[in-house]
Amino acid sequence: MVRFKNRYLVLEAIPIDGKNKSKFHMKPQALYSAILEKIELLHGDFGVAAVRNGFLTKYCSEKTQVAYVRARHGPHKLVASAIPLVTKIEGAQVTLKTIYTGGSVMQCNKFLRDYHIKELEKTLPLIKDEDERKKVQESFLCFRQVGEERSNINP
């Protein structure tokens, strides 16, 4: 039996329209479809066929707009090349940014925890209201560990 290696891409969705930032909710199925559409546009049928086996959206956070995407080792390069081209998810204008590529969900969780702490350190000095500070701290630091939840989205 052959072991297939996977790569996990940690993505951040940045809504372009600042007014709709709180209204934008990234759904796993919509992210999956948007990325696959751009892979087809960029790499054609070969790219879709190479990526489709083993490609899924593992996790999407509504609060932090962060998602995990799994792809097999090798075709993950095709996925990574198509991610910057995604400009719309369910009609909302967004910019997708790859912030980390890891070999396991545990490494992605560790990176994301450290990433959130750094972002929190940048944000907290700008906030004057104590209640607002607590809300920001909760939104940054209360993300679920992806390995703990077992809900994989794969159409």
Q: φ and ψ at 22, to 5 degrees?
A: -75, -25
Residue 130: per-residue pLDDT: 84
Residue 116: per-residue pLDDT: 84
Residue 35: per-residue pLDDT: 96
Whether the per-residue pLDDT at 149 is higher than 60: the answer is no
Q: Which of 84, 79, 110, 114 is nearest to 97 (CA)?
A: 84
For the beta carbon of residue 17, count every other beta carbon within 10 angstroms. Answer: 11
Residue 132: per-residue pLDDT: 83
Confidence of residue 135 (pLDDT cuts 50, 70, 90): confident
Taking the C-alpha atoms of residue 127 and residue 105, their distance in angstroms, rounded to an integer, is 32
Whether the per-residue pLDDT at 153 is higher than 70: the answer is no
Across 9-37, average pLDDT:
84
Q: Going from the N-terminus, what domains does the chain have, and what CATH number goes with each?
A: 6-141 (3.30.70.3250)
Confidence of residue 87 (pLDDT cuts 50, 70, 90): very high
Residue 22: per-residue pLDDT: 60
- The string of pLDDT tens digits covering residues 100-132 is 999 999 999 999 889 888 888 888 888 888 888
